[in-house]
Structure 1
């Protein structure tokens, strides 16, 4: 990553996330984002080179991924364009099993000779590793699908939209924020297109075209007299959509408590930036929270992060088994708890599911990077832990007969491994809105947006902040609060869940750069929920703990 790109990202408060992002690829002209270097027929011919070479050299299994990864990032600040980045990464990754052991190699030489050489290297690595392998790799079966394709259902390819149009939109958002009191604003627009071709010795030839988009900003308002400043992050959600996400359709807006606008599957960055400046000004004079026990009303734009950290990560089977211990920790949700079939992860109304098929989500694909058709499955049912997230060489450990279809690699140059699918909280079944929820609370706090957080290495004890906080007294919002964070442990927190709004309030939150593994890789994942209430949660005053 170029230094100037990192500086721009750090200015948005996303630099920490991007530290684990590898070299994005080669800089290219924006028009090249729409080029098509190989058609499907050519990819199949090249894939067969790898598969045949692997078989003839002793591999019992092989898969090949021909990937073209495109990125366009645009950064602005106030009335200036800071940078535009257009990159392409193109190459082939080959994974094999030989003598019961995995081997992997990759190359950016996308030719018959280059692929043959990389395949031979993968086989040699597998055979070398077999000398220390204690047990052979045991894959659950997967159906061969023949020639199939899948594409993110988009209305407008973001890569086709002129950069000038995107820049004008960001600068317009900046201008409106400044008119309404912002002293500073950084905006960014991230667009990703993964063009992936997968083939395996089990008979699948899968072509996929995947699109993701993330608009975001940070608004800062300063009170020079008091020497204070406040920031407000964007309330957007990164999505698995095209540029139509940016059209701000009125039908995609929900009126939330506190006069907030909640965006569902379309977003208006100009409107959000305008409101952000006004809310940041209000935050300057908001009172500081009194520590104590509160009923928390958590908006989906906030709750998604709590789901991600306290449910998504601890139910990754490789983490449960200790494979992540050296990098990101282990999990309190150990296999012995799952085997009891009655471990109460949450209250009876907590139903959390994994889903790689949900339209508009960041994790939506037709097939994972092992050629497994994606699906939905339960993780927590009626509050009870019932399953984990597992791929082909893990599934038998938890008595599954098939992979969950959640294997992913961030590029052709990286080996695929188990990654978090979309993990979401099911909405309530009875008609119930966020406004109804406010009316039912006597002493509570309504929290919107993500903030700073901390969670231990077993994903058990945690603390979460947020973006906006509103005091709720006797069924009404009485004003803004500052310095709010809540503390709990995962099991206590989810067992305090008492009410969930219905499907009409269900929205997606997302993580565009979620890191895991050694060497580290990033992936994108969504978390859906409706507004949810948790009773009697411990709230601290962060201002008093400095």
Structure 2
């Protein structure tokens, strides 16, 4: 890491510094500079054609170019202080080619004809060098050129138009509300992202996209009697504009009776959640420690999303199934023979898991992926049976398919695109069924809200998950908060224990802003949707007890 990058990261604040990959930082700019328009589309097309024409003249059978301008604003506060405000910009072009049947990639921040020609030459040279050890030529699924098209996240308020002072005031107001209601410490942050991406390929596509994401983060800690307890905010990162913080489309979903929780969809009331976080963190100080044993679990979407991510999203990435990720993150239990059998029981008949890059409001929503493939929705698990994977243009022939799923992505212009997880979600139940209905049907159970620590093996099979807030269910009613809760299972056993799913009125998204994969490692943003779901007879352990 360069000293400049280290100093910049070190100034972000404790919470933020650990969350932001240095590759996404770019150069520091002013908040006003975020509003500058950048390179116009006509110039992007001209620069892209320089790359494509150069590549073809040097013998490439395929080439694509991605011009990217990545704008980020991060705001960090703690109690009554602003820790840091960071504005960054990263701009450049990445060029990918196939020559001698082999991939090559190079990038540059010199987005001029000379700079692009030099990078394209390097990409071709890399491909030809790689071809000497390539055993089989790259086989691309066909993609029809789209011509000149555009796509934009359907935002109502661009974060770049909102003064930094307004964002700071909102975070400090939330901090004050938490402190006034019993918090000892509180940190809040805003992560705001705008990706301006232009893709061109020798297939005849020129695609301009404007992608927006937002993530409000909060952690509240209460101290008493020599102990401390923390409660994270129940926000979800979203593919939305700043209207997520404004409440322009306010839609609050109350948690089950007895929890005092308010859950959020389409907007987030950070001040209200700060108060609830402080109150519940104080209650945790004296809450009962869970008795280990078998429980029926009622899992709300902000919690279940992480379990979906780890036990469904990752193991059904085809490159992981094929062993390409083994050195970095492991393989997958969901091997090709299970899919080919046509009857592998991933979960109960209620379980329908879908991949969807078009879902409005999700972090992974774009019109086209980074290979120029129009995004879509497809089944992964239908009626409990494994039916498909996630695959891109050079992979789908391996599973006897001829159309990419449209889930190829790169974290920036200077990284090569590769297969990434799309939004993976659990479909809601079809019958009218509320969270209170679900709780009333449970004799001995635990309601879990929010994300917590977890662990899962390298085949994404055996796992353990915690959470943010835990509530005991006895004879159909929420009784009190619990501490030290984690549940253990394996992927197949867990999803086969799914016994009931609430209807679409309870459906919400959870997300990951910085999902890591690959070598060199890259991050991507992805959402997971579900309604509150029940899993019967799951093993719960007490994380506070030692043997």
Could you say which TM-score interval applies, normalised by the shorter chain? over 0.9
Aligned to 1:210: 211
Distance 1:412 1:400, change over 3 A: same
Aligned to 2:254: 255
Q: Is the 8 A contact 2:425 2:530 kept in 1?
A: yes
- Map residues 170-189 of structure 1 onto 2, 5 A cutoff: 170-189=171-190
1:230 aligns with 2:229: yes
Distance 1:363 1:236, change over 3 A: same
Give the structure-2-normalised TM-score: 0.98
1:11 aligns with 2:19: no
Distance 1:485 1:9, change over 3 A: farther
Give the structure-1-normalised TM-score: 0.98
Measure how far apart 1:161 and its partner are. Answer: 0.5
Measure how far apart 1:29 and its partner are. Answer: 1.0
Aligned to 2:463: 462
CA distance in structure 2 between the partners assigned to 1:363 and 1:118 by the alignment:
29
CA distance in structure 2 between the partners assigned to 1:219 and 1:227 by the alignment:
17
Q: Is the 8 A contact 2:451 2:466 kept in 1?
A: yes
- Map residues 72-91 of structure 1 onto 2, 5 A cutoff: 72-91=73-92
Q: Is the 8 A contact 1:11 1:186 kept in 2?
A: no
Q: Give per-residue Cα distances to partners, 1:311-332, cap 9 Å, x unaligned.
A: 0000000000000000000000
- Map residues 45-444 of structure 1 onto 2, 5 A cutoff: 45-223=46-224, 226-248=225-247, 251-257=250-256, 258-444=259-445
CA distance in structure 1 between the partners assigned to 2:249 and 2:229 by the alignment:
29
Distance 1:250 1:61, change over 3 A: closer
Measure how far apart 1:11 and its partner are. Answer: 2.8
CA distance in structure 1 between the partners assigned to 2:341 and 2:419 by the alignment:
24
SS at match of 1:544: coil
Measure how far apart 1:448 and its partner are. Answer: 0.3
SS at match of 1:543: coil
CA distance in structure 2 between the partners assigned to 1:294 and 1:7 by the alignment:
43
Structure 2, unaligned stretches of length 5 or more? none
Distance 1:162 1:511, change over 3 A: same
Measure how far apart 1:399 and its partner are. Answer: 1.2
Q: Is the 8 A contact 2:25 2:89 kept in 1?
A: yes
SS at match of 2:371: coil
SS at match of 1:285: coil
CA distance in structure 2 between the partners assigned to 1:194 and 1:67 by the alignment:
7
Range with greater deviation from structure 2 (240-249 or 150-159): 240-249
CA distance in structure 2 between the partners assigned to 1:407 and 1:334 by the alignment:
21
Distance 1:272 1:192, change over 3 A: same
Q: Give per-residue Cα distances to partners, 1:83-105, cap 9 Å, x unaligned.
A: 00000000000000001000000
Distance 1:15 1:466, change over 3 A: farther
CA distance in structure 2 between the partners assigned to 1:277 and 1:8 by the alignment:
27
Q: Give per-residue Cα distances to partners, 1:118-162, cap 9 Å, x unaligned.
A: 111111111111111100000000010000000000000011100
Measure how far apart 1:248 and its partner are. Answer: 3.0
CA distance in structure 2 between the partners assigned to 1:541 and 1:205 by the alignment:
55
Q: Give per-residue Cα distances to partners, 1:193-241, cap 9 Å, x unaligned.
A: 0000000000000000000000011101000xx2100000010000000
Aligned to 1:452: 453
CA distance in structure 1 between the partners assigned to 2:384 and 2:9 by the alignment:
42
Q: Is the 8 A contact 1:356 1:364 kept in 2?
A: yes
Measure how far apart 1:400 and its partner are. Answer: 1.2
Range with greater deviation from structure 2 (20-29 or 514-523): 20-29
Aligned to 2:500: 499
Q: Is the 8 A contact 1:17 1:514 kept in 2?
A: no
Distance 1:26 1:9, change over 3 A: closer
Q: Give per-residue Cα distances to partners, 1:525-544, cap 9 Å, x unaligned.
A: 00000000000000000000
Count of aligned pairs: 542
Q: Is the 8 A contact 1:249 1:267 kept in 2?
A: no
Q: Give per-residue Cα distances to partners, 1:469-528, cap 9 Å, x unaligned.
A: 000000000101000000000000000000000000000000000000000000000000
SS at match of 1:187: strand
CA distance in structure 1 between the partners assigned to 2:212 and 2:475 by the alignment:
45
Distance 1:5 1:544, change over 3 A: farther
Q: Is the 8 A contact 1:178 1:277 kept in 2?
A: yes
Q: Is the 8 A contact 2:463 2:488 kept in 1?
A: yes
Moved over 2 A (4+): 1-12, 14-18, 248-251
RMSD over aligned Cα, in angstroms? 1.2
Measure how far apart 1:15 and its partner are. Answer: 5.0
Measure how far apart 1:259 and its partner are. Answer: 2.4
Measure how far apart 1:8 and its partner are. Answer: 6.4
